[in-house]
Amino acid sequence: MRYFLGLDVSTTGSKALLMDERGAVKAVASTPHTLQTPRPLWSEQDPREWRQAAAASIRRALTDSGIRGEQVAAVGLTGQMHGLVLLDEAGEVLRPAILWNDQRTQAQCDEIHRRVGRERFIQITGNLALPGFTAPKILWVQQNEPEIYARARHVLLPKDYVRYCLTGVHAMDKADGAGTVLFDLKRRDWSPEILAALDIPQAWMPPTYEGPGFTGRVSEEAAALTGLKAGAPVVAGGGDQAAQAVGVGAVEPGVVALTVGTSGGVFATTPSALIEPQGRLHAFCHAAPGMWHFMGVMLSAAGSLQWYRDTMAPGMSFEELIREAEAVPAGSEGLQFLPYLTGERTPHPDPLARGAWIGLTVRHGRGHLTRALLEGVAFGLKDSFTLIREAGLGEIRQVRASGGGTKSALWRQILASTLEAELTTVNATEGAAYGAALLAAVGAGVWPDVPAACAAAVQITDCVSPDPAQVEAYRRAYPVYRQLYPALKPTFDAMGGIILPENKS
């Protein structure tokens, strides 16, 4: 029996997952990371901590499973996207990594659009320049830390720094590469035009590979540190969203991955490099070779319910709140909720957007507030589905749902009826790490391609169909929801001016 390691270098920790060649998970181990916020809007981590955490998780997964390092046939990598790791000529880290949730670079985003042209940038990269992405972070270091920039020779993403520690090789997968917004999306590789416009040497950017492609082998030093076999191949893998999609089997057009965690994500595989003309959807390469994907992001999905319970009903369980909501009819008798508690990303990239219940009357009770919240999150996710359809994806046959929010049967039914699609859950619960292990197994020849691996290893555990009565109610309510943000945006901006006076202009 051969085994495969999926390693997920996330924001909160490094997770190691061991899977056998039938797709069964044998062990999972995780080691936490620390986060630094040295200034407002900044979010950083020390990459060397990832190396230590990854090694500790691998060792513990091997010990817990009783699997020997020499039995691990291949390693797949995944992790947090968009983070900037700068190395010097000797491969030493030059500064703390600037993470995906760092918000310091709005001025650099504006400058990128000025240098390249907003429309031209969208057409090449498939995206707007946003503070979370890697390109504006490089420009920030260039402009604010010139002494560090002068010593830089290599640009890597978080998981790819761990790859470098494992193999001594600079490499990156195409899905994560596209997430830097330095990619030519259609060509699936670095854009000479974008790099030149931003004065970033192309020699700094590593070669890119398809998700199951071999990028290097575990070194003797890394083998001693981790317990893996020296010479074990390491495949490219994918950014966490692409690997998560592999982990739930969303690897063909018409099958969409929906994550309802603290934030919400909609991941739709596309057979070509489709682009939303205004850049309201992210468009990246998939970890599955020859595929691309759209992605919409909601900043407060299950996080809205967490906030609501903690703030409004701290003595109640989620189950009790949901039980009250079950007694309320679809549409919450006219009550609507905007889930913009931490601003929003898709389809409204607006940090000043705010949450609200709208339409309150004396008839409405706590059950109405709860159900309206569940429906408001579902409507917010439907915004991404609407954009995906309008951008040319076509029919959405099935939604593969994961995340803490999907544990609620009521919320799953609301989502199925709102999205008007079959909503399924699957046996794979470890998401991105499992997807990385599947990519490693494909690279090692266990399955001929990624769709075959998903068909063999990912099984549907539950299926919810749209309820016709609810569908009709939500068809009436959703257009009202879509009117609320445009109507309230001037108010949100004015509120931002009160809280942050410098935003008044």
Query: 440-458 pLDDT, tens per residue?
Result: 999 999 999 999 999 999 9
Give the whole-angstrom CA distance, residue 70 versus residue 5: 12
Same domain assignment for residues 296 and 237: no
Residue 445 belongs to some domain of the structure: no
Same domain assignment for residues 338 and 320: yes
Same domain assignment for residues 264 and 238: no
Instruction: Kindly list the distances between the CA atom of residue 63 and the CA atoms of 159, 217, 219, 263, 471, in Å, as whole numbers in the listed order.
Output: 23, 22, 20, 33, 50
Rounded mean pLDDT of 107-112? 96
**Domain CATH number, residue 290:** 3.30.420.40
Domain's final residue, options 185, 217, 242: 242
Q: Which residues pair with 338 in a beta bridge?
A: 356
Query: 249-262 pLDDT, tens per residue?
Result: 999 988 999 989 88
Same domain assignment for residues 104 and 237: yes
Residue 435 belongs to some domain of the structure: no
Same domain assignment for residues 226 and 293: no
Same domain assignment for residues 196 and 237: yes
Same domain assignment for residues 416 and 293: yes
Residue 163 belongs to some domain of the structure: yes
Give the residue from 3, 13, 95, 84 showing the smallest Cα distance to 54: 13
Rounded mean pLDDT of 188-206? 98
Q: Are 309 and 405 in contact (CB under 8 A)?
A: no
Give the CB-side neighbour count of residue 51, counting CA atoms within 13 A. Answer: 18
Give the whole-angstrom CA distance, residue 206 versus residue 98: 18
pLDDT of residue 503: 41
Domain's final residue, options 217, 242, 267: 242
DSSP 216-238: EE--HHHHHHH-PPTT-EEE--E
Same domain assignment for residues 231 and 260: no
Q: What residue numbers bound the domain in which 73 lies?
A: 3-242
Residue 417 belongs to some domain of the structure: yes
Q: Please, is 334 exposed, middle or buried when counting C-beta atoms within 10 Å of its C-beta (0-12, 13-18, 19+)?
A: middle
Give the whole-angstrom CA distance, residue 460 versus residue 135: 38
Say if residue 347 is preceded by a cis peptide, omega within 30 of 0. Answer: yes
Domain's final residue, options 225, 242, 259: 242
Query: 290-326 pLDDT, tens per residue?
Result: 999 999 988 889 999 999 999 999 999 999 999 999 9
DSSP 425-491: EES--SHHHHHHHHHHHHHTTSSSSHHHHHHHH--EEEEEPPPHHHHHHHHHHHHHHHHHHHHHHHH
Question: Number of helices (H) and strands (E), helices first, in the chain?
Answer: 17, 24
Rounded mean pLDDT of 353-358? 95
Rounded mean pLDDT of 65-93? 97
Residue 438 belongs to some domain of the structure: no
Same domain assignment for residues 12 and 30: yes
Same domain assignment for residues 260 and 191: no
Number of domains in the chain: 2
Percent of the chain whose predicted confidence (pLDDT) is above 70: 99
Q: Residue 501's pLDDT band (boundaries 50, 70, 90)?
A: low
What token pair was written down for 62? 């091997």
With a threshold of 0.85, does the pTM exceed it? yes
pLDDT at 413 over 60: yes
Same domain assignment for residues 231 and 259: no
Residue 134 belongs to some domain of the structure: yes
What token pair was written down for 357? 């219940």
pLDDT at 347 over 80: yes
Mean pLDDT of the chain: 94
Residue 41 belongs to some domain of the structure: yes
Query: 450-489 pLDDT, tens per residue?
Result: 999 999 999 999 999 999 999 999 999 999 999 999 999 9
Q: Which residues pair with 45 in a beta bridge?
A: 97
Pairs from 410-414 (Cβ < 8 Å, separation ≥ 24): 410/322, 410/325, 410/326, 410/374, 411/260, 411/322, 411/374, 411/378, 412/462, 412/464, 413/464, 413/467, 413/470, 414/330, 414/374, 414/375, 414/378, 414/470
Same domain assignment for residues 235 and 382: no
The residues annotated with a catalytic role in the active site are: 240
Give the CB-side neighbour count of residue 138, counting CA atoms within 13 A. Answer: 29
Residue 166 belongs to some domain of the structure: yes
